[in-house]
């Protein structure tokens, strides 16, 4: 068995390297050394922990995955290994290959909720897969394959002819909730699925992506025609009970993921852009029962998302003021760098 796993890992490593090379020669350096240095000075501690400065200085699997991904995009192996070391030591503490979702410096033990967050696991696996190809590391490919396999086994389900990505291994299916299954459309990191399919081949990766785009298109709530952060798909889609019925901080990244993966129609991207943009040009979060604005998101890391959605769907180019990176809080700064890396990979263009 050990020999078979080793041969499989070698084959998947070669496949990941090939797809990574084919993306573009500049992909690996699409986050500039200056931007990465500013980001890690603001959010990366000496132990490899990405600090969520807008959320009590906790760390979580999402943040660790983002940090690993950005380290790959900055072509910084030492920082990647530092972040991965903390992640595998402190968060990969479940017995099924998935990560605990939250690490809190104020509690002992630091992990008090063992449930996972599926987007964090996907981000970690994707970053490991890219790192395997970029730095010729079989151990990263094997780790990515193990996490990807656990994601498929524990969080990808087929219900009513649809393939769904559950937000966690427990708490969101019909056995857990009266309105289950419940999904979070912002957990669909579309560009990761073809790469994870190389590691753990399955037709489910394509169907979860295709069905995910269709779901987002169908999640058009209130006069804003926007998806909610948490959606019940038990029958007709509707905002899930027990969660604020809002287009919130989760959902703001949906157009970014669609744009980076070059998925979603121009009409869908335009609809999302129109719905999330205020008259001032800032982005917003919205109550999807009333359509009222909840928060004005003026940080450039948020404003660049509808601008990118507009640009990739045939609208105006992104303004120069959004192309300069300066760290603010962890979350919008992360989204900002991912948007800028997409532009850098495309020589400053959206298409």
Q: Catalytic residues, which ones?
A: 62, 119
Phi, psi of 132 (to 5 degrees): -60, -45
Half-sphere exposure of 110 (CA within 13 A, CB side): 18
Helix (H, G, I), strand (E, B) or coil at 54: coil
Of 195, 164, 167, 328, give the one whose Cα is nearest residue 260.
195
| DSSP assignments along 84-124, one per residue | HHHHHHHT--SSSSPPPSEE-TTSSSS-------HHHHHHH
**Residues whose CB falls within 8 Å of the CB of residue 72, separated by 6 or more in sequence, listed in order:** 28, 80, 127, 130, 131, 134
Strands (E) across 115-274 are located at 156-159, 162-165, 182-183, 231-232, 238-239, 246-247
| Sign of the Cα pseudo-torsion (89, 92, 95, 100, in order) | positive
Backbone angles phi, psi at 21, to 5 degrees: -65, -35
Residue ranges of E strands in the chain: 59-60, 102-103, 156-159, 162-165, 182-183, 231-232, 238-239, 246-247, 283-287, 293-297
Structure tokens at 272: 């999302």
CA pair distance 244, 74, nearest whole angstrom? 36
**Strand 283-287 with 246-247, pairing:** antiparallel
| Torsion sign (Cα): 8, 9, 13, 19 | positive
Other beta carbons within 10 Å of 24: 13
Q: Which helix (H) or strand (E) holds 73?
A: helix 61-73
CA distance 91 to 116: 9
């Amino acid at each position: 068995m050990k020999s078979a796993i080793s041969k499989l890992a070698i084959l998947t490593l070669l496949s990941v390297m090939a797809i990574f090379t084919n993306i573009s020669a500049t992909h690996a350096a699409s986050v500039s050394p200056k931007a990465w240095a500013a980001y890690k000075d603001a959010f990366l501690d000496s132990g490899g922990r990405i600090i969520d400065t807008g959320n009590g200085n906790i760390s979580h699997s999402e943040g660790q995955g983002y940090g690993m991904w950005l380290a790959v995009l900055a072509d910084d192996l030492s920082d990647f290994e530092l972040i991965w070391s903390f992640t595998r030591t402190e968060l990969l503490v479940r017995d099924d290959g998935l990560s605990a979702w939250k690490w809190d410096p104020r509690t002992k033990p630091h992990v008090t909720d063992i449930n996972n967050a599926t987007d964090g696991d996907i981000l970690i696996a994707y970053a490991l897969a890219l790192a395997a190809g970029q730095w010729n590391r079989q151990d990263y490919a094997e780790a990515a394959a193990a996490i990807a396999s656990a994601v498929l086994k524990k969080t990808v389900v087929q219900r009513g002819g649809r393939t769904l990505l559950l937000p966690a291994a427990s708490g969101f299916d019909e056995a857990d909730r009266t309105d289950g299954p419940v999904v979070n459309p912002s957990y669909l990191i579309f560009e990761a699925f073809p790469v994870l399919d190389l590691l753990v081949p399955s037709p489910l990766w394509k169907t979860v992506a295709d069905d995910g785009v269709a779901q987002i298109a169908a999640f058009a709530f209130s006069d804003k025609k926007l998806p909610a952060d948490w959606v019940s798909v038990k029958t007709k889609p509707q905002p899930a009970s027990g969660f604020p019925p809002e287009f919130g901080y989760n959902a703001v990244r949906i157009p970014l993921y669609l744009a980076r993966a070059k998925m979603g129609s121009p009409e869908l991207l335009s609809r999302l852009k129109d719905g999330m943009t205020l008259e001032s040009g800032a982005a917003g979060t919205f109550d999807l029962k009333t359509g009222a604005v909840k928060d004005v998101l003026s940080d450039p890391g948020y404003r660049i998302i509808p601008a990118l959605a507009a640009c990739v769907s045939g609208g105006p180019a992104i303004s120069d003021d959004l192309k300069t990176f300066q760290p603010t809080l962890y979350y919008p700064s992360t989204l900002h760098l991912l948007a800028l890396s997409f532009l850098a990979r495309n020589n400053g263009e959206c298409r």
